[in-house]
Amino acid sequence: MECTETSDGLSRMYKVKVPASELKARLEARIEEIRPQMRLKGFRPGKVPASHVRKMFGQSLMGEVVEAVMKETSEKAITDAEIRPASQPDMHMESDMEKVIEGSEDLAYHMHVDIMPDFEPADMSGITIKKPVAEVDDAQLEETLGQVAENNMKYEPRGKTAKAKDGDAVVIDFVGKIDGEPFEGGAAEGHTLVLGSGSFIPGFEEQLVGLKTGEEKDVEVTFPEEYQAEHLAGKAAVFEVKVNEVRAPKKPDVDEEFAKGLGIESLEELKTMLKTQLQQELDNAARAKAKRHLLDVLDEKHDFELPPKMVDMEFDQIWQQLQSEMDAGRVSDEDKEKSEDELKDEYRKIAERRVRLGLVLAEIGRIQEIKISEQEVQQALIREAQRYPGQERQVIEFFQKNENAMAQLRAPIYEDKVVDHLLETVKIDEEKVSRDELMSDDEE
């Protein structure tokens, strides 16, 4: 193997050449390795001549050899150069691969790789970080109790002549038909539907407003184009509906009986549980703002050359996300007024900040020997899987088989552990604020 290096800032290029004779020797060794296990018609087990193996499988085996040699030599080039790659190398073939596999040409390729910048993290021990904090007050607790009561609304029968209105629950029988024929899953008896809940097909609930107990109506709707059942998507349907009962909402009294109905021993215990949850939300928001201030300070205190490929990849990801937001019409008025060049310049600076901070946090974590346990990773994987009810197993299998996906799962865990270490290192200046001030998004 021959290897030459050229450099430009944090970018390196390595040209590698492996003689055809070495590839041929490796091919012969590979043939001898597999010959004892080969079973081919016309030959005794393990007695297939090397010449026959070469004739039948030589090209595919040489392909395996070339792939293994490129992996081995590229890793050796990086090891010999004593560099810390910032990303996976980009490989570029220079040889004619057909001729290489035929054995008539040397293997020659070059690879581009960015290296990690050499810098020393700033000393943060004398830095003061602002941390706004808030405590749960009685008004917030009462408001949350009211929300719990609304979420557990009870419904009482109205009179038989009462007309259903938004917010009422109606008990209905229905049969759905397309082109006059009932379809699977389109019928039910005694189904309770809260009008205005949006739980049925768009346009269905609105047509039941004004109906009374015992009345019937044909409800005409069209299934959405993106409906989960493909055989119904975009089709017009008629539902024959009968209203069995109209029920009015009644907010339950928040008392001991209400708490026990939720499976909690007492109203006091319910309040304690809610207060703990609310305080956790406030504490998380306080940590998020302290982290934001910490990252701002880290960004100000570090200025070093960034690996170009890392910045490009981060920028591409941000730009694709912005394009999606633009297509969906969710871009701020401020961004709408900017030219594409202005937006690219602005978001490239954001990409540079993210890469810089990522490198700083990674270096601090390396120096402090911060590790994440397998248990922490598994807990994160379970939380991710729980976001997709019914598909948990598929999600877990996807992550277990995808190294990049697992790396993305580990990254925020590692970052949080490094941030926690830094928050213990710096001085924290706590300032008591109101809940609204703490939860406001005034810092961009």
Eight-class DSSP state of 307: -
Report residue 156's pLDDT band, with 50, 70 and 90 as the boundaries: very high
Q: Give residue 305's pLDDT.
A: 94
The lowest-confidence range among 61-65, 328-332, 431-435 is 328-332
Global pTM exceeds 0.75: no
What digits encode the pLDDT tens for the residues 95-146?
Answer: 998 888 888 899 999 999 999 999 999 999 889 999 999 999 999 999 999 9
Which residues have a Cβ under 8 Å from the Cβ of 69 and sit 6 or more positions away? 18, 22, 23, 26, 107
User: 364-368 long-range CB contacts below 8 Å, 24 or more apart?
Assistant: 364/121, 364/418, 364/421, 364/422, 365/414, 365/417, 365/418, 365/421, 367/121, 368/418, 368/421
List the domains of the chain with CATH numbers.
2-114 (3.30.70.1050), 154-250 (3.10.50.40), 259-439 (1.10.3120.10)
CB 432 within 8 A of CB 133: yes
CB 188 within 8 A of CB 194: no
CB 209 within 8 A of CB 195: yes
Report residue 443's pLDDT band, with 50, 70 and 90 as the boundaries: very low
What digits encode the pLDDT tens for the residues 305-358?
Answer: 999 999 999 999 999 998 888 888 788 888 888 888 999 999 999 999 999 999
Which residues have a Cβ under 8 Å from the Cβ of 443 and sit 6 or more positions away? 289, 292
For 300, the token pair is: 């100000």
For the beta sheet containing 2-8, the strands, ordered from the edge strand earlier in sequence to the opposite edge, are 2-8, 11-18, 107-114, 90-93
Measure the CA–CA gap between 7 and 83, rounded to whole angstroms.
12
Question: Is residue 437 predicted with pLDDT exceeding 50?
Answer: yes
Query: Phi and psi dihedrals of 208, rounded to 5?
Result: -95, -15
What digits encode the pLDDT tens for the residues 2-16?
Answer: 888 888 889 999 999
Q: Give residue 442's pLDDT.
A: 56
Phi-psi region of 214 (alpha: psi -120 to 50; beta: other; left: phi over 0): left
Report residue 444's pLDDT band, with 50, 70 and 90 as the boundaries: very low
H helices of 152-184, in order, are none
The lowest-confidence range among 47-51, 103-107, 345-349, 394-398 is 47-51
Q: Give residue 227's pLDDT.
A: 86
What DSSP string describes 10-29? TEEEEEEEE-HHHHHHHHHH
State mean pLDDT over 189-207: 93
CB-facing half-sphere around the CA of 278: CA atoms within 13 A: 21
State mean pLDDT over 275-293: 96
Neighbours of 398 (CB within 10 A): 14
Name the nearest CA neighbour of 418 among 351, 354, 357.
357
Average pLDDT, the chain: 91
